[in-house]
């Protein structure tokens, strides 16, 4: 018998609440008998804004409190941006990609320039992502990259105050918040390969909760599952968190999965990339194989140097 009450753990940021309400709306469409409540939770990642994520524990800081709510049975599911979910999650929990994936690419936001090519020399660009920074300065080594933290509206305010010439954000996050007009350029994947899972919504739930598994079955998106599983397999095999300039992006078309992966040195001077094309249900194998290829080509040395520098 399906549940009658569903508790959704969510961050308190505007984007997180919007995504959780979106999932709530879809679930109510299929299951109008449900009583769904949102449980907003403030995470450490939301509180500690004066330090970079790579120095305080990585993206997992955005979901630890939500996972704890699941493990303590204070919530039934937790809704996340898929890119915020670490490669390894607690063994007591499951992860599913929910609904069709949005635009996975990065976006340049500027009040005066329409593309990265138009930016003047020594322009100050805001991003706290090592992945974005490494790829940006690889393409434009003359640019100056400064860290920026906070939710999307906070970052836009800092841009509007003149603290930055431009900032880089996730395209889909801007679109979901109705801020499409702020996008100056959707950056091609060839210039900035996206983060693993970017543009997708993920839901965690307890491993043996069959009721929840049945509830989510109708709103799972098979294509998104294929692409995000391949991307996450690549990053997991690399054993790399958000402090590493690493990217993976998969596209599914005509029953073919095209997976691209990239690892950079933090200064963008060394870049290793590769790709795989295969059947969708072999995506995780493709991700593992591509990671092994890049590790053997020199990515392992890049990773060791980064970890050594941080000690």
Catalogue all structural domains in the chain, each as residue range(s) with its CATH number: 1-98+200-220 (3.40.190.10), 106-186 (3.40.190.10), 221-311 (3.30.160.40)
Taking alpha carbons only, the member of 28, 26, 37, 33 closest to residue 3 is 33
Question: Can you tell me the distance from the alpha carbon of 115 to that of 231, in angstroms, rounded to the nearest whole number?
Answer: 27
Q: What is the pLDDT of residue 49?
A: 47
Average pLDDT, the chain: 91
Stretch 227-236: mean pLDDT, rounded?
A: 96
51 falls in which pLDDT band (50, 70, 90)? very low
Q: Where are the alpha helices (DSSP H) in 106-170?
A: 130-139, 152-160
Q: Name the maximum alpha-carbon separation found in the chain.
A: 62
284 falls in which pLDDT band (50, 70, 90)? very high
Residue 206 makes CB contacts below 8 A (sequence gap 6+) with 70, 71, 73, 76, 92, 93, 94, 212
Q: What is the pLDDT of residue 164?
A: 98
In 164-211, which ranges are E strands? Answer: 166-170, 185-186, 201-206
Phi and psi at 49, nearest 5°, equal -110, -5
> End-to-end distance of the chain based on CA atoms, in angstroms?
52
Percent of the chain having pLDDT more than 90? 82
On the question of pLDDT at 105 being above 70, the answer is: yes
On the question of pLDDT at 76 being above 60, the answer is: yes
Lowest mean pLDDT among 30-39, 101-110, 136-145, 298-307: 298-307
98 falls in which pLDDT band (50, 70, 90)? confident
222 falls in which pLDDT band (50, 70, 90)? very high
pLDDT tens string 131-169: 999 999 999 999 999 999 899 999 999 999 999 999 999
On the question of pLDDT at 272 being above 50, the answer is: yes
Q: What is the pLDDT of residue 3?
A: 62
Q: What is the pLDDT of residue 239?
A: 82
3-state secondary structure of 160: helix
More confident residue, 285 or 302: 285
On the question of pLDDT at 203 being above 90, the answer is: yes
Q: What is the pLDDT of residue 13?
A: 92
Catalytic residue annotation: 84
CB-based burial of residue 304 (10 Å sphere; 0-12 exposed, 13-18 middle, 19+ buried)? exposed
More confident residue, 237 or 61: 237
Residue 40 makes CB contacts below 8 A (sequence gap 6+) with 10, 11, 12, 17
Q: What is the pLDDT of residue 119?
A: 98
Stretch 120-136: mean pLDDT, rounded?
A: 96
Q: What is the pLDDT of residue 61?
A: 64
Stretch 259-283: mean pLDDT, rounded?
A: 96
Q: What is the pLDDT of residue 242?
A: 59
Q: Is the pTM of this model over 0.85?
A: yes
């Amino acid at each position: 018998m399906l549940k009658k009450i569903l508790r959704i753990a969510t961050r308190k940021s505007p984007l997180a609440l919007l995504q959780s309400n979106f999932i709530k709306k879809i679930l109510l469409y299929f299951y109008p008998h449900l009583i769904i409540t949102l449980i907003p939770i403030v995470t450490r990642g939301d509180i500690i804004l004066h330090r970079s994520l790579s120095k305080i524990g990585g993206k997992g800081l955005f979901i630890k409190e939500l996972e704890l709510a699941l493990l303590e049975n204070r919530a039934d599911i937790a809704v996340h941006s898929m890119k915020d979910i670490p490669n390894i999650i607690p063994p007591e929990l499951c992860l599913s990609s929910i609904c069709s994936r949005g635009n996975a690419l990065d976006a340049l936001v500027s009040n005066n320039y329409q593309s990265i090519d138009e930016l003047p020399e020594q322009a100050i660009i805001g991003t706290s992502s090592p992945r974005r920074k490494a790829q940006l300065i690889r393409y434009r080594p003359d640019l100056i990259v400064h860290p920026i933290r906070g939710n999307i509206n906070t970052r836009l305010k800092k841009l509007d105050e003149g603290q930055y010439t431009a900032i880089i954000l996730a395209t889909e996050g801007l679109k979901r918040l109705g801020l499409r007009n702020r996008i100056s350029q959707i950056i091609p994947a060839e210039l900035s390969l996206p983060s693993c899972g970017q543009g997708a919504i993920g839901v965690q739930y307890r491993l043996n909760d069959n009721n929840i598994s049945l509830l989510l079955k109708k709103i799972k998106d098979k294509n998104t599952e294929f692409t995000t599983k391949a991307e996450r397999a690549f990053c997991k095999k690399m054993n790399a968190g958000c402090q590493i300039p690493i990217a993976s992006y998969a596209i599914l078309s005509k029953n073919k999965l095209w997976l691209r992966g990239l690892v950079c040195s933090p200064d963008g001077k060394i870049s290793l990339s590769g790709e795989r094309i295969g059947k969708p249900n072999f995506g995780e194998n493709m991700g593992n194989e591509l990671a092994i290829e890049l590790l053997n080509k020199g990515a392992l040395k890049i990773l060791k140097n980064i970890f050594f520098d941080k000690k």
